[in-house]
Structure 1
Amino acid sequence: MIVRLLRLLACQLLLAFACAQAQASDGIDITRAVIESSDDGYRLNAAYAFELPHGLENALQLSVPLYFTTEIELTRPRWWWTDEKAVSQRQTISIKYDVLTRQYHVRVMGSVQQSFPTLDEALFMIRRSRWLIAPKGALKPGETYNVTLRMFMDREYLQKPLQVNAFNNSDWRLTSSKKTFTYKAE
């Protein structure tokens, strides 16, 4: 009786672990997030791990552009008042498939566009980012800041009929958990 109960408990734990792993693989994982000080300011150097769900990959093959937004916020903790918001930035990257040229186009909004022959190469660019989040002097040297970072598929850029579908379909809700860490300004 006890052996049977232990087997049942072990099976339930394995099932719960498998479900948690499957659910974790459906989102975006932030695998690296570092703030670097440079001559022109502070840069976020980040890496993300994710795969496009089948529904998003099909939409992309039908030339529906997808948009991925990264949000970062740096706050300076204060004991006497609410935290001071030092930096709050967003960067959006779009990916689109051109059926005629059979190329994937990745564009950083307001900046460069690059073309790639395969989806894996295009996603590699989206999964790696290094961009200027604040000019030099925006942070006080020696101060410690709390950093909050997240990445998500931005449904607001989609056409209105697709936005309705995106609310009802879990494939269209690709997002990461918020990653928090501290940074001491240089």
Structure 2
Amino acid sequence: MSRRIKQFLFLCLMVLGFFSTTVNAEGIKIKSFELEKVDNDWLLNASFQIELSPGLEDAVQRGVVLYFQTEFDLSRARWYWFDEKSALVQRQTRLSFQPLTQQYRIASEGFTFSAKTIAEALQAVGSIGGWRVIDNAQLDPSRSYTGSLRMTLDLTKLPKPFQVNALNNRDWNVSSDWYRFPFSSNSPNLIKR
């Protein structure tokens, strides 16, 4: 191979590597979570890192409301049938832009917050504190469970024309992977950082 061909191939690989890292930068990742037992309940505190594509940011600034759904699932494996679902809870967080005040508005379960920048707004969307996910009465202390946690952009809440676009556009499918962990009701607080 000539030197020019090697340089060209090297340049192509660098460009492909750059695009693959920028594509993977967008999405949702779990930064930290903690399950703490308070009285008879288990409360979830979590932090997600959310990065939107430029197209999604533009859509929010043009008036499209985004709904993020956080799901927590607690199940117990059974050899003879499907897994037993001990707890399944969901939480919806709404992100919108107010053009008159030039601020982003975040709303979830009666809580509202305003932010000046999209970065502050996404940080507020990704912060969960004191969310009741498990009632200790639902659990058998002698059994072990598997907990699962994730956050997604709920495409079903988008206006219909955007739902069609979201099916064809990878930038609109924003989701974290399921994070699964072992859980026992007699264990102390569970922390992942």
TM-score of Structure 1 vs Structure 2, range by shorter chain? 0.7 to 0.9
Kindly tell me: are residues 74 and 14 of structure 1, through their superposed partners in 2, closer, same or farther at Cα, counting changes over 3 Å? farther
Q: How does 1:4-83 map to 2 (within 5 A)?
A: 21-39=21-39, 41-83=41-83
- 1:158 is the counterpart of 2:158: yes
Q: Distance in 2 between matches of 1:87 and 1:12?
A: 49
Q: Distance in 1 between matches of 2:40 and 2:120?
A: 29
Q: How does 1:108-127 map to 2 (within 5 A)?
A: 108=108, 110-127=109-126
> Aligned in 2, Cα 1:14/1:55: closer, same or farther, shift over 3 Å?
closer
TM-score, with normalisation over the residues of structure 2? 0.80
Distance 2:13 2:74 in 1: 38
Cα gap change, 1:55/1:84 in structure 2, threshold over 3 Å: closer, same or farther? same
Task: Give 2:164's aligned amino acid.
Answer: V
Percent of paired sites with the same residue:
34
TM-score (norm 1): 0.83
Paired position in structure 2 for 1:101: 101
CA offset at residue 167 of structure 1? 1.2
- Change over 3 Å in CA distance of 1:82–1:105 after alignment to 2: same
- Residue 13 to residue 179, structure 1, CA distance change in 2 (3 Å): farther
CA contact 1:74–1:147 (8 Å) conserved in 2: yes
Identify which range, 77-86 or 150-159, moves more after superposition. 77-86
Q: 4+ residue runs of structure 1 moved beyond 4 angstroms?
A: 10-20
> RMSD value over aligned CA atoms?
2.7
CA separation of 1:120/1:73 partners in 2, compared to 1, >3 Å: closer, same or farther? Answer: same
Q: Is the 8 Å Cα contact of residues 143 and 184 (structure 2) preserved in structure 1?
A: yes
Aligned length: 181
Equivalent pair of 1:35/1:183 in contact (CA under 8 Å): no
> Which residue does the alignment assign to 2:133?
133
Secondary structure of the equivalent of 1:174?
coil
Whichever residue aligns with residue 137 of structure 1, its letter is A
Report the AA paired with residue 111 of structure 1. Answer: G
Q: Which moved more, 1:95-104 or 1:42-51?
A: 42-51
